[in-house]
């Protein structure tokens, strides 16, 4: 899990040490403020933790929250508000994310290019193609997609 300038320090390790000293805290805050990639995959992060962490990452372009099974649309909203330069969001395996949360990300993040939504069971397959196809690679490799003749 990368943490901006502190590439060797995971976000979870950085946050565990957040209370060690003011120098540590200041260093973590600086690293998060510069981070372009936030990788929290498979962590125990929940909406409360995400709402504290994400506003400290305004330069984030890639956010990986795959398999963070305790997050909801509140975290998707926190990403949308805190990361205006977002290009890629991975929410794979998060059963509490809905289309409403994804809609907020799509509306607020004008640079968005990629969404990973596999395993977001509350997002209907019927919505994927009309609403999110431009952000998702939703076709099997054997399929040629809607552009095929």
Residue 92 has pLDDT above 80, yes or no: yes
4-to-31, 35, 60 alpha-carbon distances in Å:
5, 4, 9
- Interstrand relation of 88-90 and 62-64 (parallel, antiparallel or unpaired): parallel
Residue 11, φ and ψ in degrees, nearest 5: -60, -45
The string of pLDDT tens digits covering residues 18-28 is 566 787 778 77
The string of pLDDT tens digits covering residues 109-149 is 999 999 999 999 999 888 888 889 899 875 544 444 444 44
User: Residue 89 in 3-state DSSP?
Assistant: strand
Helix (H) or strand (E) holding 77: helix 73-82
């Amino acid at each position: 899990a990368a943490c901006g300038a502190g590439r060797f320090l995971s976000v979870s390790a950085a946050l565990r040490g957040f209370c060690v000293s003011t120098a540590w805290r200041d260093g973590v805050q600086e690293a998060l403020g510069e981070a372009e990639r936030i990788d929290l995959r498979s962590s125990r992060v929940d909406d409360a933790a995400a709402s504290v962490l994400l506003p400290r990452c305004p330069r984030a372009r890639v956010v990986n929250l795959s398999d963070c099974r305790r997050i909801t649309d509140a975290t998707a909203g926190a990403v949308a508000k805190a990361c205006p330069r977002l290009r890629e969001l991975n929410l794979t395996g998060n059963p509490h994310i809905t289309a409403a949360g994804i809609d907020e990300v799509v509306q607020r993040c004008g640079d968005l290019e990629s969404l990973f939504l596999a395993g977001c069971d509350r997002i209907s397959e019927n919505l994927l193609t009309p609403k999110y196809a431009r952000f998702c690679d939703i076709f099997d490799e054997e399929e040629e997609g809607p552009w095929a003749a």
